[in-house]
Structure 1
Amino acid sequence: MPDRVTTLVTGLLPTTLECRLRRRLICCLLALLPPTSLSAQNSDAGEFPDAVEFDAGAFDNAAFDDSMFDGADLFDTATEAPRNFRFQLSQQTVTHLSKHRYSTPAGTTDTQHRGLENNRLGLNIRYQNPFAAGWLLQSSAQLRAYLPGDYEHDNPGRDGWEWRLNELFLQRSGAQNSFSFGRQTIVWGETIGMSVLDVINTTEYRDLTIIDIEDARLNQWLAVWDHFSDSGSWSSFINLYPEFDPVPVTGSPLFPEPAQMNGRPLRLGSYDGKRDLFEAGTRWNRTLIGSDIAVMAARLYENALRYTLPTDGSNRTRPHINDFILLGFSANRAIDRLLLTLDVAYSHGLLTDVLNLVADSDDSALWLPGFDTQNRISMAAGFEYGISATQQVSLGVQAQRFIGLPSDSASTLWRQRETEGNALLRYSQSLRNEELMLSATAQAALDGDEVLLNLTADYRLSDTWEVAGQIILTHAASDSALFFLERDVRAGLTLSWSF
């Protein structure tokens, strides 16, 4: 390849890397949080995205006081009003302990060491009000203050703090039908943390405290209709304002360095929303003795935006969107204390990255990035096993394969592997009458390129105070998309007060 071509392709590697990293984080880095963290797993009620900062279990497992017989006198009309609001205040500190040099795909070397990485004060608010028979109003929001030392502290787009509405939906439930509208979550898969079917809601990964897809999942404005019958249940949704994964935060631990073009950092743009978009899907579920099966179909947009280099001389890349068809099947089987899960997805019309060989004005070879559409079959399988009342273990394995990728040729260079896979192993044990929770989570790409290990101890000091500590260890091969996480060690501490 001529020197000019080599230079251009090398310059494009960081851009392609950021796109590839964004895609692979969703299915490769699913393991750094314990089951007792933020996620409300397999719950359509929505979640609080900042996992380590806030334990949604304090809300999800809370019993809202709706009793009308509070007190000794059952005929006393003066009753205590239900607690509709719940709050949690937390302080999180995470330190990057390791300091090492690593090689980049472009052949240069760099050193990554942040010291203090996360230093933030968070307030989470949840409101839940069953204000009438069959009616429910629910919302949740979060406020984050980024203190000195936090990598977000000097972010000019946030002014040192950030507010976000997570949930806001109204639900009407009857004997056979339920309808809800607003910001909410749809979970279709069975394999916790590894499902290939949980692709309806968008996700956001900022740092190594928000890795599990259950915690990174964001709510969207959806209208959902559920119908229940003796032969099974139907669940359908429509989204008239599809959103996309938020643009990565440049300088964050998972996106430490932007790509360069003409000596300036490339900026990833957001979708301008000029087109009228919609997403829709339906799912049929049947419950059998000891098992559930479901089939589903949806028309969706890929959550991750794709980018090409700017053509107007600026340093802002051009975002591209793509719609595709998803067909899925899921099943589970309960055998005593063992639960087996299976998810299968067929995606028709996904975008794939290519480099096309074209002729320049002086007849020299020139490689330019582009896209092509391909189909993909994906599968996730696993089990959850209750060893005892205080010990649980789960395993999930995910694999996906593009169908009919052509071989590399002089005209096209494919930029993704034909087959990829990941494994996720979790173990947790509660001690001291469930006051102390110990957990270990390991996740690895099946080819060994990326390995993550998370060790967590969560101690409940009282009904309102809780402290959690964790150690995060990572390994990444030099040719991995996460090469800058090789031999990284991080330690975190979070103190929470619920009221």
Structure 2
Amino acid sequence: MVAIEETPQENFNEELDLSEADDLEIIDDLDEDEFGTEEERTFFSAFMENARFSLKHEFGYGFQAPQKIVSNRSSLRLEWESDFSENLLFFFDGKGSIHHSNDHLTKAQNHSPEAYGTSNLRELYLQGSYGDWSFKVGRQIVIWGESENSVLNEVSPQDQSEVYFTSLEDSRIGQNLIRINYFSSQWDWDMFVNPDSQTNKLPEEHTEYYIPLPENDTDYDVHETMPFQTEVGFHVKRNVESGDFAFYAAKLNENQPFYQQKSEQIGNKTILEKTYPNYQMFGMSGNLNFGNTLLKTELAHKSKKWFAAKHSTDVVFKKNTIDMALDLEYQFNDHANIYAGVSDQHILGWEEGIQESEDSVKYFLGGNQSIYNQTLDLDYILNYDHQNASAVYRLSIKYKIMDDLNLDVSTVYFDPTDLQKGSGMYFQNKSRITANLTYYF
């Protein structure tokens, strides 16, 4: 008979049971694998706390012949702000978009892809604050002026690829610059230096809103010279009891290209020089409150502006201009207001050979009504270009489905009197309705 040694119960448990320390170690390993380290979780929480996402889908339909889908795109925008220290802040604002196969921007691509991706880095800068001083370095958007048809807001260029169908905020293009602010007891001082001058983004060839340019004409050989001169601007503002007033001074480059014919030719092609001339601007603005009425005024003197001649063989005209804008807004109550305004560019020393009129007058009229506990906003605005005899009507309905979900349906209708001038030449059958569904998180 073989003797079997009996194992004590306590020894059996010690050999087979996991220790408490081993249990905790394995659980910690599982947590790290599934959720990341504590440092990673802390970073993610801090990132989400300072981030704002906007998920949007846009669908646009042209309702004038030929009727068709114009835009069909999805986008994700991220705005992120983080304090690196007590005096240092980082800001990011960028958007990525997917244009689906029936979007006009996708159709314009040579290989006609199923989807076309674009990105837009609006702002990316570091801001340091020390007492009354603030310094910003990086990609920024500078907004001057406050009227609807501002004559001062010429610092930041615009994306004009869908000029009538993009909000002013979304159309602005950032530039890499240095900005310095000083806040005193009475005045706010603002200065920028821009060594990276950008220009307006124009509609691409074969897109829905393309406007023919000389570089796409086989009769011309276009030589482009980008703006190399550093832009500098200065702005000072003071708040008073009934409003505020401000003064402006800047040396800027044109955001729109200027084409100048050269005397020589290449074969049978005429040579054109595409440039962005620089000019100087001095201006002032003011906002005055009178009870329920708000008056906005702007006045600017711009020197050495270039103007094209009626005949391409004539020389370029360099003239000074006086620009003005006047807005009047009346608020009926907290939920309704109306507004109207006029702007004008007056060319000093105007001559018959200049292609533009001596005065370029534009009017606008609009109103806003908020109903259903401020969940539904109705906006209407009419823009009228006097010289080109063209009107643009806009109606927008914004509905807050819930706190983080908005629906925006807008209509833009073109009504040109003269089809040979202004928007009538290119937009007489481009009216459309657009729906945007946006979710914020």
User: Does TM, normalized by the shorter one, top 0.5?
Assistant: yes
Asked if residue 161 in structure 1 is aligned to residue 102 in structure 2, the reply is no
Q: 1:331 aligns with which of 286, 295, 298?
A: 286
> What residue is the counterpart of 2:420 in the other structure?
479
- Closer/same/farther in 2, CA of residues 464 and 284 from structure 1, 3 Å limit: closer
Larger RCO of the pair (alpha carbons < 8 Å, separation 6+): 1
Q: What corresponds to 1:89 in structure 2?
A: 55
Q: Which has more helix, going by share of residues? A: 2
Question: What CA deviation, in whole Å up to 9, does each residue of 1:16-59 have, x standing for no partner?
Answer: xxxxxxxxxxxxxxxxxxxxxxxxxxxxxxxxxxxxxxxxxxxx
Partner of 2:135: 179
Residue in structure 1 matching 2:304, options 337, 341, 349? 349
Q: How does 1:131-280 map to 2 (within 5 A)?
A: 131-156=84-109, 160-191=116-147, 193-207=148-162, 210-257=165-212, 264=218, 271-272=225-226, 276-280=228-232
Bigger Rg, structure 1 or 2: 2
1:296-315 → structure 2 map (5 Å cutoff): 296-308=248-260, 311-312=265-266
Q: Distance in 2 between matches of 1:199 and 1:282?
A: 13
Give the 3-state SS of the residue equivalent to 2:106 in structure 1. Answer: coil
Contact 2:99 2:105 in 1 (8 A): yes
When residues 254 and 271 of structure 1 are mapped into structure 2, their CA distance, relative to the original with a 3 A threshold, is farther
How much has 1:258 moved relative to structure 2? 5.3
Deviations 1:336-363 (A, max 9, x none): 232211100100000110155xxxxxxx
Taking structure 1 as reference, are residues 155 and 254 closer, same or farther at Cα in structure 2, changes over 3 Å only?
closer
Structure 1's unaligned 5+ residue stretches are 1-79, 100-112, 357-366
Task: Quickly say closer, same or farther: Cα 1:267–1:211, change in 2 above 3 A.
Answer: farther
In the alignment, structure 1 residue 492 sits paired with structure 2 residue 434: yes
How far apart, CA to CA, are the structure 1 residues paired with 2:404 and 2:201? 33
Relative distance call for 1:196 and 1:209 in structure 2 (3 A) is closer
Deviation at 1:395, TM superposition (A): 2.0
2:340 aligned with 1:398: no
Establish whether residue 459 from structure 1 lines up as the match of residue 399 from structure 2.
yes
Match of 2:33 in 1: none
Contact kept in structure 2, 1:194 and 1:397, CA below 8 Å: yes
Q: Secondary structure of the residue that 1:349 maps to in structure 2?
A: strand
Match of residue 356 from structure 2: 416
- Post-superposition Cα deviations, 1:178-220, rounded to whole Å, max 9, x if no partner, equal 11111112222131x2110001111121125545544422121
Counterpart residue type for residue 372 of structure 2: R
Are 1:267 and 1:317, in contact at CA under 8 Å, matched by a contact in 2? yes
Which digits, 9 at most, give the CA deviation of each residue in 1:441-468, with x for residues without a partner? 1111134711111111111212222222
| 1:189 match: secondary structure | coil
Aligned residues of 1:222 and 1:239 also touching (Cα < 8 A): yes
Q: 1:129 maps to which residue? A: 82
Match of 1:9 in 2: none
Cα distance in 2 for residues equivalent to 1:161 and 1:369: 43
Letter in 1 for 2:308: D
Contact 2:224-2:275 within 8 A present in 1 as well: no
| Separation of aligned partners in 1, 2:212 and 2:323 | 31
In the alignment, does 2:242 pair up with 1:290? yes
Cα–Cα, structure 1 residues 135 and 391, in superposed 2: closer, same or farther, change >3 Å?
farther
2:328 equivalent to 1:387: no
CA distance in 2, matches of 1:463, 1:342: 36
What is the Cα deviation at residue 474 of structure 1?
Answer: 0.8
Percent identity of the aligned residues?
Answer: 21
Q: Secondary structure at the match of 1:246?
A: coil
Aligned to 2:374: 434
Q: Which amino acid aligns with 1:457?
A: I
What secondary structure is seen at the aligned counterpart in 1 of 2:252?
strand
Distance in 2 of aligned mates of 1:261 and 1:237: 35
Secondary structure at the counterpart of residue 153 of structure 1: helix
Residues 232-254 of structure 1: CA deviation (Å, up to 9, x unaligned): 22211111111111243223343
Structure-2 separation of matches of 1:472 and 1:308? 34
> For residues 364-411 of structure 1, what are the alpha-carbon distances to aligned partners after superposition, in whole Å with 9 as ceiling and x for unaligned?
xxx5265221100000011233221111222221111100012x3xxx
What is the deviation of 1:140? 0.7
Task: Name the Cα RMSD after superposition.
Answer: 2.6
CA distance in 2, matches of 1:268, 1:204: 22
Distance 2:272 2:51 in 1: 43
Instruction: Using structure 2 for the length normalisation, give the TM-score.
Output: 0.81
Decide whether aligned partners of structure 1 residues 211 and 353 sit closer, same or farther in structure 2, where only a CA change above 3 A counts: farther
User: For residues 221-273 of structure 1, what are the alpha-carbon distances to aligned partners after superposition, in whole Å with 9 as ceiling and x for unaligned?
Assistant: 121111122342221111111111124322334325556987x4869776456
Which residues of structure 2 form unaligned runs of 5+? 1-44
| Aligned CA distance change for structure 1 residues 381 and 267 (closer, same or farther; 3 Å) | farther
| 1:437 partner amino acid | D
